[in-house]
Amino acid sequence: RAGAQGADAGNPNSRTIELLQGMLDHNEQVNDQWRTMSYKKAIAALKRHPERVTTAEQARGIRGIGQNIGDKIEEIVRTDRLRKLEYVQNDPQFQVLQLFLKIYGVGIKQAQQWMAKGYTTLEDVRARAQLNAGQKVGLEHFDDLNTRIPRVEVAALGQFVMAAAAELDASIELIIGGSYRRGSRSSGDIDFIVTKKGTSSTDPLVPFLHALVEKLYAEGFLTATLSSLAAEVKQGHGSKWHGCCVLPADSPAAQHMREHDAGWKPVWRRIDFLLVPDAELGAAMIYFTGDDIFNRSLRLLADKKGMRLNQRGLYRDVLRGPKRVKMTEGELVEGHDEKRIFEILGVKWREPHERWC
């Protein structure tokens, strides 16, 4: 995770960011949402800060960094360590929890249940736990699915999918969103938006995605379904597909990867498709480009202005009852045009690579 977004060795605060990221992971895992947020904000602020931050006082002067994290920054710079982080990381319970959470489909509750049963290794889970279908895939392909995807490979996977899509229906457009669109040098998965000019619902896209999935399975590209369109339709959504894929070893795309890196081997990757009608493309692009913190801040801003932003559009005159519970959907202001949504919200346009807070 650390370094995913640009906190590389070239960043003057890279070591500080690395250790604060450890604290972020810890707080995320113990479900401390408030501290998780504080660390996310502080890390984001440091990533954007052009100079090395060495004292608590200096740190506190940066928007998004408070007293507590400021002190930790100073400790890191002075000692190259963070005692609190070492303390939590040394806890065997923490290490087991961390391990279990790396299995796809396993959340904090499930991990804690297994720990309560005394499981401490992946072997224990394999031998004794009742796994659902997704978790089975997660465990069987644990190493693959915990390896980040280099940007060149995301591009190769993207081309493979787009070639198949073009053969089926050239009028349908696929866009790679997520961390790739933000310019990350590596991604956790590959995220596709699937859309078509002139559409106002996902209905015309559903048969296409069915056909695409079938074709990509037949080509040996798709390897597992984690959340199918059919299951989604049952729940009344029907707009996304989640699964796993791999570049077939004998494909030109794999050949291209080997030319780029002689030691390259096919690895199972996570892949997501999101169906989006043209009318909602702008809002969906904002949502699916992220990052999640940026999305949250835009939504908050919309709320403050009496509007509402979700992955389908920007709405106004949203009627809210007690505790700000939404009573009506409101009137759609803009859904199609990404730039217009920024404009109406009154925020300066941010290129995708600038969308991490």
| 18 is a site residue for Mg ion (CB under 5 A) | no
Give the nearest distance from C-beta 183 to ligand DCP in angstroms.
11
Contacts with Mg ion: how many residues (CB under 5 A)? 3
Given a contact cutoff of 8 angstroms between Cβ atoms, the answer to whether 356 and 293 are in contact is: yes
Instruction: Kindly write down the DSSP assignment for every residue of 98-142, as one continuous string.
Output: HHHHTSTT--HHHHHHHHHTT--SHHHHHHH----HHHHHHHHTH
287 binds, among ligand DCP, Mn ion, Mg ion, none (CB under 5 to 8 A by kind): ligand DCP
Q: Is 189 in the site for ligand DCP (CB under 6 A)?
A: yes
Binding flag, residue 292, ligand DCP (CB under 6 A): yes
Residues near 272 by beta carbon (within 8 Å), at least 6 away in sequence: 178, 189, 190, 191, 192, 240, 241, 242
**Closest approach of Cβ 188 to Mn ion, in Å?**
7
Quick check: 103 and 139 in contact, CB under 8 A? yes
Q: Given the complex with Mg ion, which of 72 and 141 has the nearer CB atom?
A: 141
Q: Minimum Å distance from CB 199 to ligand DCP?
A: 21
For position 138 contacting ligand DCP by CB under 6 A, the verdict is no
When binding is defined by CB under 6 A, the residue of 164, 165, 295, 315 that contacts ligand DCP is 295
User: How far apart are the C-alpha atoms of 13 and 3, rounded to whole Å?
Assistant: 12
**5 binds ligand DCP, rule: CB under 6 A:** no
Q: What is the dihedral of CA 62, 64, 70, 72, to 10 degrees?
A: -140
CB 239 within 8 Å of CB 202: yes
269-275 and 190-196 beta bridge pairing: parallel
Asked if residue 178 binds ligand DCP (CB under 6 A), the reply is yes
Alpha-carbon gap, residue 182 to 121, rounded angstroms: 35
List interacting residues with Mn ion (CB under 5 A): 189, 191, 272
* 183 touching ligand DCP, by CB under 6 A: no
Active-site option among 72, 240, 323, 348: 72
Nearest CA among 67, 40, 42, 44 for reference residue 56: 67
Considering only 50-58, 230-238, 239-247, 288-296, which stretch makes contact with ligand DCP by CB under 6 A? Answer: 288-296
Annotation says 72 is catalytic: yes
Q: Which residues bind ligand DCP (CB under 6 A)?
A: 178-179, 187-189, 191, 287-292, 295
Query: What is the set of active-site residues?
Result: 72
